[in-house]
Amino acid sequence: MSLATYIGSNVVLPINDESDDLVTIGSCFSDEGHRLNVKKYQFTTPYVYEVSSDWGIEISKYINKRTCKESKEKLIALCKLMNSYLGPGDFFELYSCWVGEETQKREGELILKINSFDIDRIEMPEKILVRIVK
């Protein structure tokens, strides 16, 4: 199984599957059915994408330090990318889960301000809906 991270947005985002960037918007582990399920069961936004990378974004004391560090770097890169697409007061949603578990009950919610959070104080395990507001 693979940990996928999905992004929900109120704006259409460009797909950049071919990028060598730390974070890209496009398919990696999921298919259209998985994205439709996460849209229906988790998100409030009309547009859903997968955040492509070697692994999903999970920040937790229960994962190894290297994966956690990489997830923090991915979250920061994603916020920088999304900052250019969002207007004042806009938001995007983020949700990580194992592929196939998109319909399962979420385990919590978190709200962050896009440019003013301490990455080292965030706990963002799988099945947490994160709303990041500009």
C-beta of residue 53 within 8 angstroms of C-beta of residue 30: no
Q: What pLDDT, on the 0 to 100 scale, is given for residue 78?
A: 92
Element (H, E) at 113: strand 108-113
Name the token pair of 18.
Answer: 């071919």
The pTM assigned to this predicted structure is 0.92
What does the pLDDT look like over 11-67, one tens digit per residue? 999 887 665 577 888 777 888 999 999 999 999 999 999 987 778 899 999 999 999
Q: What pLDDT, on the 0 to 100 scale, is given for residue 20?
A: 59
Q: What pLDDT, on the 0 to 100 scale, is given for residue 3?
A: 92
Q: What pLDDT, on the 0 to 100 scale, is given for residue 18?
A: 60
What does the pLDDT look like over 87-120, one tens digit per residue? 999 999 999 999 999 999 999 999 999 989 999 9
How far is the C-alpha of 56 from the C-alpha of 111, rounded, in Å?
Answer: 19
